[in-house]
Amino acid sequence: MRQPASDFQQNLIQKIAKWKAGLADLGRRNPLIKFRQDSPRTLEILTEEPDLLFKNLT
């Protein structure tokens, strides 16, 4: 069963807020700072409109 669009959007907003809060942690355990591109946990985002993506993430 699919999530309603509003639930999906709210979940996405919560995840983005968690990622933003995680950027404040400057320790070695922070995976957002200690980034390895070859890690299986990476996500490549391809878009023709990076400005729109950045606007939605900030």
17-44: pLDDT as tens digits:
988 877 777 777 777 677 777 778 777 8
pLDDT of residue 13: 92
- What whole-number distance in Å separates Cα of residue 10 and Cα of residue 7? 5
pTM, two decimals, is 0.38
- What whole-number distance in Å separates Cα of residue 31 and Cα of residue 12? 19
Residue owning tokens 């907003």? 13
Question: Is residue 4 scored above 60 in pLDDT?
Answer: yes
Query: What are the sequence ranges of the domains in the chain?
Result: 5-57
Which of 41, 46, 22 is CA-nearest to residue 33? 22
Question: Is residue 1 scored above 60 in pLDDT?
Answer: no
pLDDT of residue 2: 62
For the segment 47-53, the average pLDDT, to the nearest whole number, is: 87
Which comes out higher in pLDDT, residue 16 or 32?
Answer: 16
Query: What is the distance in angstroms between the CA of the first residue and the CA of the last residue of the chain?
Result: 30
